[in-house]
Chains A and B, each alone.
Chain A
Amino acid sequence: MKQRYLTAEELARIKGEFYTVSIDEEERPPIYVSPEEFLPLMKMLKNDHTLSFTHLSCLTAVDWKDTIDVVYYLFSELLGAYVVVKVKTIRNHPEIPSVTSVFPGAEFEEREVYDLMGVRFTGHPDMRRILMPEGFKGHPLRKDFTYKKPAPPKATRVGEIEKEADL
């Protein structure tokens, strides 16, 4: 089913208010925003009476090998439309402000993105891994992640003796 996305004119209005915002003209036009402008933009999208994007539908991240994009899909029942907000982060040190101060319900999803993609959210109340065990190394959803199987346990002395006995 085709969904409605915010039109280019409506996006242009947002663009006028935030000078670093850039818009990709596509079928589903995303707003690219810098980490500094990100929180004010989200606040405006949620609280502006003509927009009222009050529902955070989807929060995730995509590894593009040189950058990691954090993706937000906001839905407005008032307009019956989505708006897509994307923040590019540096792959070696991905860090963006947490959106939990605007959308408290993003807490677990941000933890998930941190756990699996390694993006740090500053200002998050509880930035820990959520799915992988504590002490796990690496972030599995990154494209360069390879799982190293732990080495098989070394034979104990008893085992060695048993092996000799078998021979």
Chain B
Amino acid sequence: MKAAAPAKRTETYLLNMGPQHPSTHGVLQVKLTLDGERILKAEPVLGYLHRGIEKLMESRTYVQCLPYTDRLDYISSMNNNFGFAMAVEELANIEVPRRAEFIRVIMAELNRINSHLIGIGTLANDLGASTGMLYCFRDREYILDIFNEVCGARQTFHYIRIGGVSGDFTDKARSLTEAFLERVPKFLAEYDQLLTGNEIFTRRIVGISPMTAQEALDLNMTGPNLRATGVARDLRKLDGYSVYGELDFAIPVGEHGDNWDRYQVKLKEIAESAKIIRQCLDKLPEGDIMAKVPKVLKPPKGEVYSRSEGTRGELGFYIVSDGTTKPYRVHIRRPSFVNMQGLDLMCRGMLIGDSVSAYSSIDPIMGEVDC
């Protein structure tokens, strides 16, 4: 009689993606538990870029804190400056001149386009379409030229200050912005040709990593990741902070919350942002660009939580003041950090290769995740 063959046995396998992996957008490490090619669990390991910005801010004055916000989410520095400046202004009761508010919104929206371009470009690059990335980076240059004109920097701008902005929106900046706005529909059409209609590209993202609206809300996700699931929540509309309440724009939403929807939401948001900038240019009033801010800024005792729609979701600054020149405690609610909780759900049941598109479409910036 033949001996019984040993029973077949399978084992799960642990694979480390990153922290040194080109598709993890910085130093993100993800521990993948695999069953063959399928992902059972994805556990992000964070902290490789932790610099202790919250602690550093406790020993700096409010004005000195501002440059640190540039280094949080370093590709949407304007939005971070904006958020922090708004929080301090609310705490210290500073009224911002109207012209400065409009300039801020223009800069925040330009930066949103910039950030979404990088998001789309890197998604294309990670899926093997390097041309897509080059196109996006080409168009991003035009935005950086505008930033360079108003503040002299292409990264870490430190342009939006407490009480206003550091330099005026010059005529040259205006003409550069108008030229860029004319380009927007053209390059969007180009991306549609190159990526949206590309069979290889669409097959890698349609129906991959889906997420329902309830799951996204439970995981506290915000920004394009939430809107892709069909929830039309945008703080620019909901809170109407700064001058957003006077502007007319739509909130693009997705349907299935898959990578395709996240990509589409970003594309549509670029068009909406261009619409906002156009209205701001038309409405831009004359006047001061800086409020009278005391040289030694001492906000009264108290605390404030101020949030704004960052490029990746709800960006909140919680500041506790003890009446001195330095904040007693600063906490930053970073959208990328909170959104990272969705990674496990997005990767579950997908193939290893699809985890790469999940990282790209969730669009984390490690400087912000690790703070």
Q: CA separation between A129 and B219, bound complex, in Å?
A: 19
Q: A28-B303, A57-B316, A71-B318 are in contact. Are A108 and B238 (CB under 8 A)?
A: no
Q: CA separation between A82 and B314, bound complex, in Å?
A: 15
Judge if A3 is at the interface, Cβ distance under 8 Å. Answer: yes
Chain B 43-63: CB-based contact to A (< 8 A → 1; otherwise 0):
000110010101100000000
Contact of A2 among B50, B90, B370 (CB under 8 A): B90
**Which residues of A have CB within 8 Å of B303?**
28
Sort chain A's interface into a size bin.
35 or more
The secondary-structure label for the interface of chain B is mixed
B46 and A130 form a contact (CB under 8 A):
yes
B316 and A105 form a contact (CB under 8 A):
no
**Which residues of A have CB within 8 Å of B189?**
none
B52 and A140 form a contact (CB under 8 A):
yes
Chain A 120-148: CB-based contact to B (< 8 A → 1; otherwise 0):
00000000011111000000110000000
**Which residues of A have CB within 8 Å of B307?**
57-58
Judge if A48 is at the interface, Cβ distance under 8 Å. Answer: no
Judge if B337 is at the interface, Cβ distance under 8 Å. Answer: yes
B341 and A82 form a contact (CB under 8 A):
no
A95 → chain B closest CB, angstroms: 20
Judge if A1 is at the interface, Cβ distance under 8 Å. Answer: yes
B302 and A104 form a contact (CB under 8 A):
no
A92 → chain B closest CB, angstroms: 20
Judge if A60 is at the interface, Cβ distance under 8 Å. Answer: yes
B160 → chain A closest CB, angstroms: 15
A1 and B242 form a contact (CB under 8 A):
yes
Contact of B50 among A3, A82, A106, A132 (CB under 8 A): A132
Q: CA separation between A62 and B302, bound complex, in Å?
A: 13
A30 → chain B closest CB, angstroms: 9
Q: CA separation between A54 and B148, bound complex, in Å?
A: 41
Contact of A130 among B47, B217, B220, B302 (CB under 8 A): B47
B47 and A57 form a contact (CB under 8 A):
no
**Which residues of A have CB within 8 Å of B370?**
131
**Which residues of A have CB within 8 Å of B46?**
130-131
Q: CA separation between A2 and B328, bound complex, in Å?
A: 21
Q: CA separation between A73 and B306, bound complex, in Å?
A: 11
Judge if A160 is at the interface, Cβ distance under 8 Å. Answer: no
**Which residues of B have CB within 8 Å of A140?**
52, 55
B50 and A54 form a contact (CB under 8 A):
no
User: A10-67: which residues lie under 8 A (CB-CB) from chain B?
Assistant: 26-28, 54-58, 60, 62-63
Judge if B340 is at the interface, Cβ distance under 8 Å. Answer: yes
A61 → chain B closest CB, angstroms: 8
User: Across the two chains, which residue of chain A brings its CB closest to B333?
Assistant: A58
Q: A104-B219, A106-B220, A108-B338 are in contact. Are A77 and B318 (CB under 8 A)?
A: no
Chain B 298-309: CB-based contact to A (< 8 A → 1; otherwise 0):
000011111100
User: Across the two chains, which residue of chain B brings its CB closest to A111?
Assistant: B46
Q: CA separation between A26 and B57, bound complex, in Å?
A: 26
B238 and A77 form a contact (CB under 8 A):
yes
Judge if B282 is at the interface, Cβ distance under 8 Å. Answer: no
Judge if B108 is at the interface, Cβ distance under 8 Å. Answer: no
Contact of A58 among B52, B239, B241, B331 (CB under 8 A): B331
Which 3 pairs of residues, A with B, have the shortest CB-CB distance?
A105-B220, A60-B331, A131-B47
A-B contact pairs, 29 of them (CB 8 A): A1-B242, A1-B306, A3-B305, A3-B306, A26-B302, A27-B302, A28-B302, A28-B304, A55-B220, A56-B220, A57-B305, A57-B333, A58-B305, A58-B318, A60-B318, A60-B331, A62-B328, A73-B316, A104-B220, A105-B341, A106-B220, A130-B47, A131-B46, A131-B47, A131-B370, A132-B50, A140-B55, A141-B54, A141-B55
List 12 extra interface pairs beyond A1-B86, A58-B316, A105-B341, CB under 8 A: A1-B241, A63-B329, A104-B218, A104-B219, A105-B218, A105-B219, A107-B341, A108-B338, A108-B340, A129-B47, A131-B371, A141-B54
